Amino acid sequence: MLAGGNLEAFRAGLKIASEDIPMNINELSVGLIGGTGEEGRGLALRWALAGAQVSIGSRTIEKAKSTADELNALLAARGDAAIQQIGSGENKDVIARSQFVLLTVPFAHAASTLEAHREDFREGSILIDITVPVSFEQGRVRYVELPEGSASEHLKARLPENIPLVAAFKTEPAHLLAEIGEPLDCDSFVAGDSKEARLQVMEAIGFIESLRAVDAGTLYSARTLERMTVLAIGINRRHKIKTARYRVIGL
Ligand SMILES: NC(=O)c1ccc[n+]([C@@H]2O[C@H](COP(=O)([O-])OP(=O)(O)OC[C@H]3O[C@@H](n4cnc5c(N)ncnc54)[C@H](OP(=O)(O)O)[C@@H]3O)[C@@H](O)[C@H]2O)c1
């Protein structure tokens, strides 16, 4: 399943024909740094359901394995034989074997985690940054201002130059991602300075059921996307819900 006309228009702009970048979701490897957390678990489940080869990463191998076992039990209960088992490993091993590496740790630990694993990325891989810098002060959620303008721009400098960083999944609520019986029914904004990397991430997201990838442009847009997450958290709190998210109308 592709992301529809939106993706086709983006391809046309890039002058890339669909057949130039064939993507077989069953061969796509997705690794999650800190995939043992709430957001990581939900994304692991959604990617596994899409058909990708998913690996949960952790600082400890035991925690990675127990999380993967738990998620595999959830998937097995659905009785879908086509789904590949979710694997596990220490963060460094998961990074080394994955084409898409998702950074799913709290923002406060994101830079140190990337610096520790700078050399572990394989050629041709893409880092997908989902982090949002927020603080909770006196019961209020606040965006943490950074000199670079956004978490993604802050983190980009921590990666080797040959590894593109793409911001995605910033606005998808963890609670809903983990509810695999529920449709996501929302848009997934994708931003990054490498058009090719952006296209690959959009194409892969298009395989996730009920999620539409939307081209959000260069990494500069991460400044807006991260603040949209803060807005969604505030809406959740005021309306006593957990699933506020975004859909572009007219696209
Ligand atoms: N929650 C949402 O709705 C939502 C929405 C959009 C984006 N996000 C972003 O998603 C990211 C993950 O959120 P989350 O709620 O899943 O986070 P979390 O559960 O608090 O943490 C995720 C994982 O990060 C690892 N971690 C914790 N402290 C660490 C440290 N000092 N160094 C390295 N790794 C550490 C842990 O894995 P191990 O102990 O296994 O290593 C932990 O399980 C955040 O950046 C958040 O801003 C969240």
* C-alpha torsion angle, residues 125, 27, 45, 4 (rounded to 10): 90
Q: What domains does the chain contain, in order, with CATH numbers?
A: 24-239 (3.40.50.720)
Check whether 97 has a pLDDT greater than 90. yes
- Three-state DSSP state, 74: helix
List Cα–Cα distances, 229 to 50, 183, 233, 249, in angstroms. 24, 19, 6, 18
Nearest ligand 1 atom, CA 63: 40
20, with CB counted inside 10 A (0-12, 13-18, 19+), is exposed
40 lines ligand 1 (CB under 6 A): yes
Helix, strand, or coil (residue 170): coil
pLDDT in tens, 110-133: 999 999 999 999 999 999 999 999
Is the beta carbon of 41 within 6 A of some atom in ligand 1? no
Ligand 1 atom having least distance to the Cα of 175: 3
**Tokens describing residue 145:** 């201002």
For ligand 1, whether the C-beta of 246 sits within 6 Å is no
User: What is the rounded average pLDDT of the residues 78-106?
Assistant: 94
Nearest to 207 by CA among 84, 95, 66: 84
Chain center to CA of 18: 23
CA of 9 to the centre of ligand 1 (A): 34
Cα 196 versus chain centre, distance? 17
pLDDT at 139 (0 to 100): 84
Three-class SS state of 95:
helix
The pLDDT tens digits of the residues spanning 19-43 come to 555 689 999 999 999 999 999 999 9
Could you tell me which residue, 17 or 81, shows the higher pLDDT? Answer: 81
Task: Pick the atom of ligand 1 nearest to 134's CA.
Answer: 47
Q: What are the tokens at 39?
A: 């957001």
Q: For residues 94-113, give the mean pLDDT.
A: 98
Q: Is the CB of 187 under 6 A from ligand 1?
A: no
Q: How far is the CA of 79 from the centre of ligand 1 (A)?
A: 29
Residue 10 has pLDDT above 90, yes or no: no
Please indicate whether residue 132, judged by its CB atom, sits closer than 6 Å to ligand 1. Answer: yes
Please state the atom number of ligand 1 nearest to the C-alpha of residue 91.
41
Residue that wins the pLDDT comparison between 139 and 27: 27
In this predicted structure, what is the pLDDT of residue 81?
A: 74
pLDDT tier for residue 1 given thresholds of 50, 70 and 90? very low
Beta-bridge partner residues of 166 = 128, 192
Mean pLDDT of 208-224: 98
The rounded distance, in Å, linking the Cα atoms of 63 and 57 is: 9
65 C-beta closer than 6 A to ligand 1: no
- Predicted local distance difference test score (pLDDT) of residue 194: 98
Q: What is the mean pLDDT of the chain?
A: 93
91 CA to centre of ligand 1 in angstroms? 13
Q: Is the pLDDT confidence value at 14 over 80?
A: no
Residue 62 clears pLDDT 70, i.e. is over it = yes
Residue 80, pLDDT score? 79
The CA 19 to ligand 1 mean position distance, Å, reads 36
DSSP 8-state secondary structure symbol assigned to residue 82: T
Please report which residue ranges of the chain form alpha helices under DSSP H: 5-14, 38-50, 61-78, 91-96, 110-116, 151-156, 174-178, 195-205, 222-239
Q: What CA–CA distances, in Å, run from 18 to 79, 209, 217?
A: 32, 20, 20
Closest Cα to atom 35 of ligand 1: 105
C-alpha span between 57 and 37 (Å, rounded): 10
Atom of ligand 1 nearest to the CA of 131: 45
Helices (H) and strands (E) in the chain, counts: 9, 10
Angle at 94 between CA 224 and CA 135, to 5 degrees: 35
